[in-house]
Amino acid sequence: MKPTVIAIMGPTAVGKTDLGLALADRFDVDLISVDSVLVYKGLDIGSAKPEPQLLDRYPHALVDIKDPCEVYSAADFARDANQLIAQSHACGRTPVLVGGTMLYYKALFHPMDDLPSADEALRDELTRELNEHGLDHIVQQLATIDPDIMQRLEVNNTQRVLRAMEIYRLTGKQPSTLWQQQAFSEQTIADLPYHLVQFAVMPPSREWLHKRINLRFEQMLAQGFADEVQALIDRGDLNTDLPAIRAVGYRQMWSYLQGQQDWSSMIETGQAATRQLAKRQLTWLKKWPSLLTCTAGNSENLNELLKTVNLPSQ
C-alpha cells in the first residue's frame, strides 16, 4: 500500500494550523508549511506565523527558510516538499501539509512534466533584473512575447511573473501555450506515489470569514505590525516588487509607512486585500478534485479527518 500524505487546506483565518497541531498531539506526523509568506524570515506578525515557542513544540518545515530579498517559487516549494515527504515516510511517519497557498499544492500534487525545472542561475539573473528595473519591466516583456498570457497572469504576482519569464527563456516557447496543456484531475492524484488525503477547512459563511479576517488584522496591528514592517524598510535592500513585500498586509503597511496613505486607509485596504486573497483561495478549492471538507470551528473536525485515514498513535 502507498504511504499516506495529509493536506489541510482552506482560506486564510479558518484555523488550519489548529487542526494540524491537533494531529501532531496524537500521532507521529511531520508538519510541512504550505504558505508563501511563512517561508520568509522576519515576516512574522503580518503572516500570522506561529509563535517561536509554538514552533519549538511543533516544528514546521519550510518556515523561515528564506530572506525577504529572495524569491521562492512554486517549483522551489514542490522540490523541497517532495524531499521532506520522502524523508518523513522513510522514518515511518506521516507528512501533514498545512497551509493555503493553492499554487504550491498544484505544483506539488500535479507536477508539470512539460515545464522546465527552476534554473538557479537564470533565477538569479531575473531577480537582479527585478531589483534594477521593477516588476512592470518584466510584465511588459511578457506582454510582447506572449499576449495571450495577459488574460490569465496576475501581473502583481511576482513569483508567477518570474516563473513565466523563466519558462520562456529556458524553452523559447510561450508560457500560456504550455500552461494550457496542463490539467489537474482525480487521475493525476491517483498517479501520485502516495495516498493523498485532502481536507479543506471551509468557513460557515462569508460574513463569518470576513469578521475573522478583520479581527485578525486588528490584532496584528496591536501586536506591533507597523514596527515589523518599519524594520524591513530600514534594511534598505528591500522594495515593493519583491514577493515578500508584496504579500497581503505587508504592501499596505509599507505604503502607509512611506506616507502614501493614512492609517485608516491602510487598515481598510489591508483588510480588503485579505478578503480578496480568501476569495481566490475559495475559488481554487471549489474546483479542487478529491477534496473532503469540514466547517471551521467544528469540534468534530479532527474526528472527521481521522475517519478517512488510519494513523498510528504516538
The arithmetic mean of pLDDT across residues 265-274, rounded, is 97
223 domain-assigned: yes
Report, as an integer, the average pLDDT of 40-56. Answer: 97
Q: Which residue, 79, 85, 74, 76, is CA-closest to 4?
A: 85
Question: Does 114 score more than 80 pLDDT?
Answer: no
Query: Is 127 contained in some domain?
Result: yes
Residue 170, domain CATH:
1.10.20.140
| Average pLDDT value over all residues in the chain | 91
**Could you tell me which residue, 241 or 206, shows the higher pLDDT?**
206
Question: Are 138 and 175 contained in the same domain?
Answer: yes
Q: Looking at the domain assignment, is residue 242 inside a domain?
A: yes
First-to-last CA distance in the chain? 21
pLDDT of residue 312 exceeding 90: no
Q: Is the pLDDT of residue 111 over 80?
A: no
User: 165 and 220: one domain?
Assistant: no
pLDDT at 183: 56
pLDDT at residue 112 in the model: 59
CATH of the domain at 214: 1.10.287.890
Q: What's the CA gap between 153 and 176, in Å, rounded? A: 9
Cα distance between residue 204 and residue 195, in whole Å: 28
pLDDT over 90 at 118, yes or no: no
More confident position, 51 or 190: 51
pLDDT of the residue at 295: 95
* pLDDT score of 179 more than 90: no
Residue 283: pLDDT over 80: yes
| The pLDDT of residue 286 | 92
- pLDDT for 121 equals 86
User: For residue 152, is it within any domain?
Assistant: yes
Mean pLDDT for the stretch of residues 266-282: 96
Q: Tell me what pLDDT residue 73 has.
A: 85
Residue 214: pLDDT over 90: yes
On the question of pLDDT at 268 being above 90, the answer is yes
Task: Tell me if the pTM is above 0.85.
Answer: no
> Which of 139, 164, 181 marks a domain boundary?
181
At 9, which amino acid appears?
A: M
Q: Which helix (H) or strand (E) segment is 108 a member of? A: helix 102-109
* pLDDT > 70 in the chain, percent: 95
Between CA 248 and CA 254, with CA 252 as vertex, the angle to 5 degrees is 115
Cell readout for 63 is 518556515
Tally of domains within the chain: 2
- Residues 70-98, mean pLDDT to the nearest whole number: 94
Q: Note the pLDDT of residue 182.
A: 59
Looking at 181, 198, 222, which one is the last position of a domain? 181
* pLDDT exceeds cutoff 80 at 11: yes
Q: Whole domain around residue 259: which residue ranges? A: 206-277
Say if 240 falls within a structural domain.
yes
Q: How confident is the model at residue 198 (pLDDT cuts 50, 70, 90)?
A: very high
pLDDT-derived band at 180 (thresholds 50, 70, 90) equals: low
| Ranges 94-98, 167-171, 226-230: which has the least confidence | 167-171
In a domain, residue 29? The reply is no
C-alpha cell at 302: 479532527
For residue 202, the model assigns a pLDDT of 97
Query: Is residue 54 a part of any domain in this protein?
Result: no
**70 with 130: CB under 8 angstroms?**
no
**259 inside domain:** yes
Q: Considering Cα of 92, then 110, then 157, then 282, what sign does the dihedral take? A: negative
Exposure of 256 by Cβ count < 10 A (0-12 exposed, 13-18 middle, 19+ buried)?
buried
Per-residue confidence band for 89, with pLDDT thresholds at 50, 70 and 90: very high
